[in-house]
Structure 1
Amino acid sequence: MPQITFITADGTHRTVDARNGDSVMQTAIKNGIPGIDADCGGACACATCHVYVDESWKDRVNKVGDMEASMLDFAQVVLPNSRLSCQLQVVEALDGLVVAIPESQH
């Protein structure tokens, strides 16, 4: 079972078990990770599940699709490693993934 580490805006690290096939957003919600609002429920229709993928993982996650790129325009403080966690599917190869949560999703 892959593990994902979430770093909250206050710097707290929390590592949780993730289920293959779930999204990183679903994993955050199921584990009560603060700062992932997921207002649209994972439909890639908002930017309230914005995360920063750790630089060491940036090239190992799936590429940003057109819809996600468009929705990232609504996120605050977008960086080159910004992603919508609803678009990051958990697979075994992502065991150890680290993502940071921005200070605000709105």
Structure 2
Amino acid sequence: MKAGLIYFALIAGLVLYLFFGHNGVLKYRELVGLKNTYESQIMEMDSKIRSLQKELELIKKDKEYLELLIRKELNMRSPDEDIYIMGNETVHSNGDNRSN
């Protein structure tokens, strides 16, 4: 009878350690969640890097696109454009009232 109680206490202690110990199941689940969070952040950053690389290539190859970006950033206009500032947006309009 006493031996059965000792075995039960030993098994209960091992099960508790398995779940709540330093490297237990709860810690494992926490680390898996953290890993998944980091992997999703890496995927988002990879996508952003690819997008910025495409934009950089476009800037290197297309002078008109570069000019458009510079004019947009500095709120400048070409001689045949009118600028309308609406809130945080700037709308460039050619003399023929088409928006760019």
TM bin, normalised by shorter chain, reads: under 0.3
Q: Which structure has more helix as a fraction of its residues? A: 2
Larger relative contact order (CA 8 Å, sep ≥ 6):
1
TM-score, normalised by the number of residues in structure 2? 0.23
TM-score, normalised by the number of residues in structure 1? 0.22
Q: Which structure has more strand as a fraction of its residues? A: 1
